[in-house]
Structure 1
Amino acid sequence: MTQPRVTIVHERFTEFAGSEAVVEALARQWPSAPLHAPIASAGVLPSDLEGRLRSTGLSRLLRGSTYAHLLPALPVAMRSLRLAPSDVVIASHHAFATQVALARSASAVPVVAYVHTPARWVWEASMRTGEGSGLGAAGLAAFSAAFKPFDVRAARRVHTLVANSTFVADRIRRWWGREAQVVAPPVDTDYYHPDPRTPREDFFLLAGRLVPYKRPDLAVRAAARAGVRLVVAGDGRSRAEVEALAGPGTTFVGRVSDAELRDLFRRCRALLMPGVEDFGIVPVEAMACGAPVIATGAGGAVDTVVPGLSGELVEPTGPAGEVDAWARALAGFDAGALDPARIRAHALTFSRASFAAAMQHVVDGVLDGSPVPEPRREVRLPATAVHRRPAPLGTAAPAAGSR
C-alpha cells in the first residue's frame, strides 16, 4: 500500500514540552513528512528531525525563546504557510495551528487537527492574567475578541478534529460547535517502567512545575493536615509560597532529571495530581512505573485514573472543603489494595504504540472518505460543569461504574 503524503504543522518550536513530544511522535510515524511552524529556535527538535523543519522569517524576530511580541502575526503566518503537495495535513494545535486550514496551499487538502486545547486565553478571560502574555491584559482581551471569529471559522474548515482528552473534546464542542474524536497523547512507557528491586516507601509525590493552576498549595496543605510525608519534585514561581505552607513532613528536592523522577515514581506511595490538567502526562508516567495516582476528579484525570484500578479521584468540593477532602484521601489511602502490575497494564494503553495505531486509524478514515460529524451551529461560552465521557480511542475502557 502506498504511504500517504503527510505534512505536519505545529504552532512553534521555542521549547520542547508535551505538544512537541506529540509532534515528534507524528514525525517518526510518517518519516517523510515535512514539518512546518511559523517560528522555531534551533536545537529544540531532536537533531535527526531538524532537517525536516521549515519555519518563516518570523523566527529571526524571536527574543531567545520569547515570542509574545509576535502573537498578532502568528495567525496570519499560519494562513500564509506554503505547504508541499500533500494527501493530508496534520496540525498540532493549542492556539493558531487550525488557521492552516484557511491557507491557500491547504485549500484542497483535508486537515486533521490534533487539539491539545483550543486557546483558553481566547475563550476564558481568567486565563489572560497570571502567566502573562507580554501584550497586557487589555491588549490580549482585544486581540482575543478580534480573533474568535477566525478561530471558529478555521475549526469549521478542519476536516477532522482530534482531542487529547474527553475534557478537551468538551471544550471543542462548547466553543467551536464541533465533535472531536479522542486520542490520548503518547507516553514513553518503555522508559518509565517498574524495577522489582526498588521497594515502595511511605511518602507521597508531587512532581511538575510549581505554578498556581497545578495547585501545589493544595497538595502541601493537605499533606500537612493529614500528617503524611510528601516529596515535592519541581520548581516554579510558586515555590516560595508553597514552601511557606508546607508542614514538617514535606521535602522539596527541586528540579530532577528523568532518571531521578523515574526513581521517585518507583518508590512513592502514590503520585498526587491536585490541579486540573487538559490531559496530564506525568500521572501516566507514574502509573507506567506501577505507582497509583490520587487526582482531582476533573479534566484529563477522568480519562486516565480509574478508581480501584490505577488510583483514586478526589471529587472537586470548592475552596471551602478541598483541603479537608484531600487530607482525608491521603490519610485513608491504602496502596496495598491496588496491584502495581494492573496499574502498569493500564498505563500501557497510553503507550506510543497505542497513539500511533489510533492516529493511523484517524488518517486512514480521512483518506477513505469516512463521514465526519457535522459541525453544530451553537457555539457557547464555557460552562463550569465537568462532563465525563467515554474512554479515549486507543485506550482501554474503564470498568463499569469506575468513573
Structure 2
Amino acid sequence: MKVAIIHDDLMRRGGAEKVAKTISNLYPDAPIYTLAYRPESTYPEFKDKNIITSWFQWFARNEFLMKWLFFPLGLLAMRSIKLKGYDLVIMSTTYCAKYVKIQPGTRIVAYCYTPFRLAWNPMSYDIYKNSKGSIRWVFDNVVTILKNVDKKASTQIDYFIAMTQETRERLIAAYHPKNNIPIINPAVELSNFSISSKIEDYYLLVSRFEPYKKVDLAIEAFNKNGRHLIIVGRGSQKEKLIGLAGKNIEFRENLSDLELAKLYENCRGFIFPQYEDYGITPLEANAAGRPVIAYNKGGVLDTMIPYHLDRKNATAYFFDEQSVESLNRAINAFEKVNFAPNKMRANAERFSEKRFKSELKNFIDSIE
C-alpha cells in the first residue's frame, strides 16, 4: 500500500508535530507533504524524513511570516499540491493540510486536532477580538472566505479521527462528516522520561509563546508569589513575556530532549494555565513522575486524574479560573499535599506511542 502523509506546517515544536512524527514512524516510507519546513524550528527527527514543501516555502522564512502571509499565499500554495498514485493519504491537520488536491479514489483519513481556529472560532484570536470598524470588516470577509474553503475541502475526507470527545463534537458541528469519528488520544514519548529522586525547588512551564497559552498569567502569578519558575519555549510573544517577568523567572529555549527531560524530572510541579484541546506537556510531566497544576478545562479532563476526585491516584491539582488569585491558591494548596510518582508514570503509560500506533493501524485496517 502506497501511503502519503500531509501535515499543516513544520515550522514549530508543538503537540501536532509530535503526532505527525508518530504517524510517520508508523509509515516510515511515506513522504510528508507540508506548507513549509524549517529544520531549525521543529523537531530534529524530521531531518531523516522525506519532506516535500509547497512553493510557499520561499516566503515562510519564519513562523511570523508564515502566519501573516498565509492568506492568500499559503492557502493557494497548498491548493497547488496535487497527489496522485497513493492508496492512502493521512492528514495531520488543524488548518491547511485539507486543501491539498488528491486523486479521486484515494482513501483519505484526517487526524484533525480541531477545526481551523481562524475560520471557525476567530474570537479566540486577540487581534480579531479587539478589531473594530473597517479592520473588523476586512477580518470578517477573510474569515468567511476561509470558512467556505475549509468546509468545501473537508468534503474530500473519508474519515476523521479526533483527539478527545470535545474536539470530536467540534468536528461534527463544523464539517458534518460522512462517517462516525473515532477518538484516538495522542501519545506521549515515554522513553524520553524517567522518575528522579532529586526534586528541586522550581516549577516548570513548557509552551509556545502565543496569547491563548496564557504564559502571561503564570508569569503574573509567580511575580506575586515569588517562587522560582523556569519557562521553556518561544513564540510571537517572547519579548513581551520576558519584559513581564521578575527575577525569580528564567527563560530557556532550544533544549535537547535530554535537557528538557531533566527539567521535567526535577521540577516541583508543572504549570499548565491554558485551555488546551489536548495538551501533551502535562502527560510528559506525568511520564517524569511529576504532578501538574492545571486549568480545569479542555484536554486535561481526559488525561489527568485530579486530586479532588482521587487523592490516591491523583496526577494533577486543578484551578477553576484563569486568574492570578486562582492559580496561586492552587499552588499554595498543591504544596500541602502529596503525589505518588509511580501513579503519575502509570497514568502517562496509558497514552503510549505503542498504543497510539496500534489504535491508528487497527482503524485504518478496518476501513480498507
Q: TM-score, normalised by structure 2?
A: 0.82
Task: Check conservation: 1:226, 1:328, Cα contact below 8 A.
Answer: no
Any idea what the Cα deviations from partners look like across 1:170-194, whole Å, max 9, x if unmatched? 3213322345322222322101222
8 Å contact from structure 1 (residues 305, 312) kept in 2: no
Report whether the alignment pairs 1:118 with 2:115. Answer: yes
> Contact 2:91–2:97 (CA<8 Å) still a contact in 1?
yes
Secondary structure of residue in 2 paired with 1:13: coil
Segment drifting more, 283-292 vs 85-94: 85-94
- Check 1:153–1:334 CA distance in 2 against 1; reply closer, same or farther (3 A cut): same
Contact 1:114/1:161, CA 8 A, preserved across alignment: yes
Give the conservation status (yes or no) of the 8 Å contact 2:128–2:136.
Answer: no
CA distance in 2, matches of 1:80, 1:8: 16
| Structure 2 partner of 1:183 | 184
- In the other structure, the counterpart of 2:32 is 35
Distance 1:294 1:232 in 2: 14
**Identical-residue share of aligned pairs (%):** 26
CA distance in 2, matches of 1:213, 1:226: 22
SS in 1 for 2:89: strand
Tell me how far apart the structure 1 counterparts of residues 102 and 229 of structure 2 sit (CA, whole Å). 54
Deviations 1:43-89 (A, max 9, x none): 7663321xx33334443444456333253244444444332423321
Among 51, 54, 62, the alignment partner of 2:52 is 54
Tell me which residue corresponds to 2:132: none
- 1:163 aligns with 162
Q: Distance in 2 between matches of 1:47 and 1:223?
A: 37
CA separation of 1:148 and 1:253: change in aligned 2, threshold 3 A: closer
Aligned positions of 1:342-381 closer than 5 A = 342-367=343-368
Alignment-mate amino acid for residue 318 of structure 2: L
Quick one: structure 1 residues 313 and 82, their matched pair in 2 at CA, closer, same or farther if it must change by over 3 Å?
same
- 3-state SS of the aligned residue for 1:365? helix
Contact 2:193 2:265 in 1 (8 A): no
- Helix, strand or coil for the counterpart of 1:46? helix
Whole-Å Cα distance in 1 between the matches of residues 351 and 324 of structure 2? 30
Distance in structure 1 (CA, Å) of the matches to 2:304 and 2:288: 14
Question: Is 1:333 the counterpart of 2:326 in the alignment?
Answer: no
C-alpha distance in 2, partners of 1:112/1:260?
A: 35
For 1:277-292, what aligned pairs fall within 5 Å after superposition? Answer: 277-292=276-291
SS of the residue aligned with 1:182? coil
Equivalent position of 1:214 in the other structure: 213
- Displacement of 1:168: 2.4
Contact kept in structure 1, 2:230 and 2:252, CA below 8 Å: no
In 2 relative to 1, CA 362–13 (structure 1 residues): closer, same or farther, beyond 3 Å? same
Do the aligned partners of 1:162 and 1:181 also contact (CA within 8 Å) in 2? yes
- 1:285 maps to a residue whose letter is E
**Distance verdict in 2 for CA 1:361–1:240, change over 3 Å:** same
User: After the TM superposition, which of the residue ranges 295-304 and 33-42 deviates more from structure 2?
Assistant: 33-42
- Report the alpha carbon displacement of residue 246 of structure 1 after superposing the two structures with TM: 5.6
In the superposition, relative to structure 1, how do residues 312 and 257 fare at CA in structure 2: closer, same or farther (>3 Å)?
A: same
Q: Secondary structure at the match of 2:191?
A: coil
Alpha carbons 2:15, 2:279 under 8 Å: kept: no
| Structure with larger RCO (C-alpha < 8 A, sep 6+) | 1
1:186 alignment partner AA: A
Give the helix-richer structure, 1 or 2. Answer: 2
Question: What residue number does 1:69 align with?
Answer: 69
Distance in 2 separating the partners of 1:116 and 1:255: 25
| Structure 2: distance between partners of 1:245 and 1:15 | 24
Q: Which amino acid aligns with 1:310?
A: T
Match of 1:299 in 2: 298
Q: Deviations over 1:145-165 (max 9, x none)?
A: 023123223324311111233
Change (3 A) 1:233 1:97: closer
- The answer to whether the aligner puts 1:314 opposite 2:319 as a matched pair is yes
- More deviation in 293-302 or 234-243? 234-243
Question: 3-state SS of the aligned residue for 1:142?
Answer: helix
Shift of 1:336: 5.3
1:289–1:344 Cα contact (<8 Å) kept: yes
Give 2:355's aligned amino acid: S
Q: CA deviation at 1:115?
A: 1.1
Paired with 1:253 and 1:79, the residues of 2 have a C-alpha distance of 39
**SS of equivalent residue, structure 2 residue 24:** helix
The answer to whether the Cα contact below 8 Å between 2:222 and 2:249 also exists between their aligned partners in 1 is no
1:84 & 1:360 partners in 2: Cα distance?
22
Aligned to 1:168, the other structure's residue is in SS state helix
Shift of 1:289: 0.4
RMSD of aligned Cα (Å): 3.0
**Structure 1 unmatched runs, 5+:** 368-403
Q: Is the 8 A contact 2:39 2:47 kept in 1?
A: no
Instruction: Extract unaligned runs of 5+ from structure 2.
Output: 130-134, 308-313
TM-score by length of 1: 0.76
Change (3 A) 1:256 1:200: farther
What is the CA distance between 1:285 and its match in structure 2? 1.2
1:23 alignment partner in structure 2: 20
- Shift in Å, 1:116: 2.2
